């Protein structure tokens, strides 16, 4: 940790100074997968006395939001993973938000066009969609067919001058293999026939991930790219770009992917995946990080309880295992208990206060609670369901004098399906979705909301449902709706039928 090169100036710093990064995309709640990669990048950088950089990949103008960006920073801070360079703290390689680096990408793309390593493409998305589905039908890997490759310079110039919408694509060899090295797996070879002529610059002037990641990793001096396994297949695109620009490749480390219990890639539909959820459900950041540290990695002495400092001290890529680990909330719970019980009574009380039993956190509930109170003692029974993880549910609680069990199930299923797709957790949107579905099911809103109420609170007498949902947030809400559905015992067949019905509904509403 006491690396003498730490204080050296950038000019004299040896090229071996380690720099890692995470590059989250601010398009939703902060994901545990992001926390996982942040932990490993942080631990690796700290182990080598290097720097850990945060860069915001907000190249998807439609989906990115500053609210999401803020949540990501909050999550990293809650976890205690501080970054040496990035938004807020700044640094010499900024700006660290890709939306603020547009001229840089444009410049680099122009360079590629001049060298005929990239070319403008005027194809419409309809044509591309058709092309892809035809290729799929023929059992081929889908990819751009090169229609705009043969366009003459004069025509291109004229169409651009006429303001025709276009993108810039990269040229890719039509034969041969791309060979590269992954630190954990060794040499990997992928045929160029599998590689699409990737769009580098979108019609809106924003870069795609593939361009931005290469340009920024190089310009920011990133030496080790530690990221999820899902990126292995796009390495050839990146390597091509490094070659086109004449830049050296950083060391590549592809970590295994966190999995759902059914072994598919960890997803928000099947599991709570936001860091915020774990915070709200009462987990300690050190326990969550410790748990993530045991996913695909182990301490040399096999101890299972360790801090991130201890992890970075002993960090070694050789100790990474490649099988995709299943994220197991039961073991995380055990670990969290270990941490909680080892606290002094004073520290424990402080943790509880920091968590939720404090005025800041409860303030938004006061207007709702106060009206329904006769004695101060009424507070706890009213808010209990808002403070925990899940609630105790019984099937009987879902019995309703008018609604059939089928209607209850459909309401739960459809509403939770709709919420799964929600990117922004907004009260008005929550209301609209419920109203739409209630109408579709020919139910009064109050009826439609009955099973929702039960799933959320475990009882029908509770604080207003939409306020409760806003307070609970996306993951906590969805996990409870799913619990309710599961309790009512859905077979696979019924689930499929409901999925279909929901899909039909979505299509009918456009």
Catalytic (active-site) positions:
268
Supply 281's token pair. 């459900």
Among 84, 145, 183, 229, binds RNA (CB under 7 A): 229
Comparing CB distances to RNA, the nearer of 128 and 431 is 128
Among 298, 382, 441, 494, binds RNA (CB under 7 A): 298
Comparing CB distances to RNA, the nearer of 203 and 470 is 203
Supply 364's token pair. 């938004």
Comparing CB distances to RNA, the nearer of 50 and 325 is 325
Q: How many residues bind RNA (CB under 7 A)?
A: 71
Quick check: 286 binds RNA (CB under 7 A)? no
Among 322, 349, 353, 504, binds RNA (CB under 7 A): 322
Binding piece for RNA, criterion CB under 7 A, among 71-79, 276-284, 294-302, 417-425: 294-302
Closest CA to 253 of 343, 176, 341, 318: 318
Pick out residues in 230-269 that bind RNA (CB under 7 A).
230-234, 256-257, 259, 262-265
**What do you get for the CA distance between the two ends of the chain, in Å?**
57
Supply 419's token pair. 């919420």
Comparing CB distances to RNA, the nearer of 264 and 486 is 264
To the nearest 10 degrees (0 to 180), the angle between helices 209-219 and 102-114 is 100
Which whole-number Å values give the CA distances from 47 to 17, 43, 102, in the listed order? 11, 6, 33
Closest CA to 151 of 125, 199, 116, 127: 116
Distance CA 403, CA 383 (A): 27
* Closest distance to RNA from the beta carbon of 129 (Å): 9
Among 249, 317, 326, 431, binds RNA (CB under 7 A): 326
Q: Compute how many other C-beta atoms are within 10 angstroms of the C-beta atom of residue 376.
A: 7
Pick out residues in 139-158 that bind RNA (CB under 7 A).
139-144
> What residue spans of 388-464 are helical by DSSP H?
405-420, 427-440, 445-457
* Closest distance to RNA from the beta carbon of 295 (Å): 5
Q: Contact 206/241 with Cβ under 8 angstroms?
A: no
Q: Contact 398/488 with Cβ under 8 angstroms?
A: yes
To the nearest 10 degrees (0 to 180), the angle between helices 492-509 and 405-420 is 60
* Closest distance to RNA from the beta carbon of 486 (Å): 18
Binding piece for RNA, criterion CB under 7 A, among 40-48, 53-61, 71-79, 474-482: 53-61
Quick check: 337 binds RNA (CB under 7 A)? yes
* Closest distance to RNA from the beta carbon of 357 (Å): 20
Diameter over CA atoms, the chain: 81
The bridge status of strand 251-255 relative to strand 224-228 is: parallel
Comparing CB distances to RNA, the nearer of 127 and 444 is 127
- Total residues belonging to the chain: 510
Among 59, 68, 336, 417, binds RNA (CB under 7 A): 59
Among 86, 285, 296, 451, binds RNA (CB under 7 A): 296
Comparing CB distances to RNA, the nearer of 159 and 265 is 265
Binding piece for RNA, criterion CB under 7 A, among 35-43, 59-67, 350-358, 423-431: 59-67
Binding piece for RNA, criterion CB under 7 A, among 52-60, 72-80, 417-425, 447-455: 52-60
Distance CA 17, CA 10 (A): 10
Distance CA 51, CA 13 (A): 12
Pick out residues in 61-100 that bind RNA (CB under 7 A).
63
Q: Contact 310/69 with Cβ under 8 angstroms?
A: no
Quick check: 128 binds RNA (CB under 7 A)? yes
* Closest distance to RNA from the beta carbon of 299 (Å): 8
Comparing CB distances to RNA, the nearer of 312 and 477 is 312
β strands within 71-176, DSSP E = 118-121, 167-170
Comparing CB distances to RNA, the nearer of 59 and 407 is 59
> What residue spans of 115-208 are helical by DSSP H?
125-137, 153-161
Pick out residues in 478-507 that bind RNA (CB under 7 A).
none
Distance CA 475, CA 459 (A): 20
Q: Contact 22/165 with Cβ under 8 angstroms?
A: no
Among 13, 27, 368, 390, binds RNA (CB under 7 A): 27
Tell me how far the alpha carbon of residue 425 is from its chain's centroid.
15
Pick out residues in 395-434 that bind RNA (CB under 7 A).
none
Pick out residues in 166-185 that bind RNA (CB under 7 A).
166-167, 185
β strands within 4-107, DSSP E = 19-22, 51-54
What is the DSSP-derived secondary structure letter of residue 61?
T
Supply 316's token pair. 């070694």
Tell me how far the alpha carbon of residue 67 is from its chain's centroid.
14
Lay out the site mask for RNA across 188-227 (x = CB under 7 A, - = otherwise).
Answer: xxxx--x-x--x--xxx-x-xx------------------
Among 175, 302, 346, 396, binds RNA (CB under 7 A): 302
Comparing CB distances to RNA, the nearer of 2 and 126 is 126
Comparing CB distances to RNA, the nearer of 202 and 459 is 202
């Amino acid at each position: 940790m006491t690396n003498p090169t730490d204080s050296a100036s950038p000019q004299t710093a040896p090229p071996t100074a380690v720099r890692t990064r995470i590059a989250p995309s601010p398009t939703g709640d902060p994901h545990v997968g992001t926390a996982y990669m942040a932990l490993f990048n942080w631990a690796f950088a700290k182990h080598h006395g290097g720097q850990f950089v945060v860069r915001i990949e907000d190249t998807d103008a439609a989906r990115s939001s500053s609210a999401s960006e803020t949540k990501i920073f909050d999550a990293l801070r809650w976890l205690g993973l501080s970054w040496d360079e990035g938004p807020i703290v700044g640094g010499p390689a900024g700006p660290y938000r890709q939306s603020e680096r547009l001229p840089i990408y444009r410049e680099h793309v122009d360079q590629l066009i001049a060298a005929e390593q990239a070319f403008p493409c005027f194809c419409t998305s309809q044509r591309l969609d058709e092309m892809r589905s035809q290729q799929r039908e023929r059992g081929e890997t889908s990819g751009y067919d090169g229609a705009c490759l043969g366009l003459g310079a004069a025509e291109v110039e004229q169409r651009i001058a006429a303001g025709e919408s276009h993108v810039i694509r990269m040229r890719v060899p039509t034969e041969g293999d791309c060979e590269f090295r992954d630190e954990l797996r060794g040499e990997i070879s992928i045929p160029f026939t599998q590689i699409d002529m990737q769009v580098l610059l979108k019609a809106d002037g924003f870069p795609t991930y593939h361009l931005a990641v290469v340009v920024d990793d190089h310009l920011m001096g990133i030496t080790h790219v530690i990221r999820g396994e899902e990126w292995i297949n796009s390495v050839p695109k990146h390597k091509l770009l490094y070659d086109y620009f004449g830049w050296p490749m950083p060391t590549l480390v592809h970590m295994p992917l966190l999995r759902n219990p059914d072994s598919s890639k960890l997803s928000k539909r099947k599991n709570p995946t936001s860091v915020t959820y774990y915070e709200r459900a009462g987990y300690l950041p050190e326990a969550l990080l410790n748990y993530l540290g045991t996913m695909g990695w182990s301490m040399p002495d096999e101890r299972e309880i360790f801090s991130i400092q201890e992890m970075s001290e002993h960090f070694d890529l050789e100790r990474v295992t490649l099988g995709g680990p299943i994220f197991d909330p039961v073991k995380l719970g055990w670990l969290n208990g270990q941490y909680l019980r080892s606290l002094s009574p004073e520290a424990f009380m402080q943790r509880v206060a920091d968590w939720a039993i404090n005025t800041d956190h409860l303030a938004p509930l006061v207007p709702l609670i106060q009206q329904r109170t006769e004695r101060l003692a009424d507070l706890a029974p009213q808010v209990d369901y808002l403070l925990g993880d899940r609630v105790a549910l019984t099937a009987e609680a879902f019995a309703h004098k008018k609604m059939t069990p089928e209607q209850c199930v459909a309401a739960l299923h459809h509403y939770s399906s709709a919420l799964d797709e929600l990117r922004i957790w907004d009260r008005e949107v929550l209301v609209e979705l419920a109203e739409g579905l209630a109408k579709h099911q020919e139910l009064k809103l109050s009826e439609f909301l009955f099973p929702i109420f039960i799933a959320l609170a475990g009882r029908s007498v509770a604080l207003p449902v939409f306020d409760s949902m806003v307070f609970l947030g996306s993951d906590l809400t969805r996990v409870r709706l799913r619990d309710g559905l599961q309790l009512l015992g859905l077979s696979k067949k019924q689930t499929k039928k409901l999925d279909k019905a929901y899909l039909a509904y979505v299509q009918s509403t456009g």
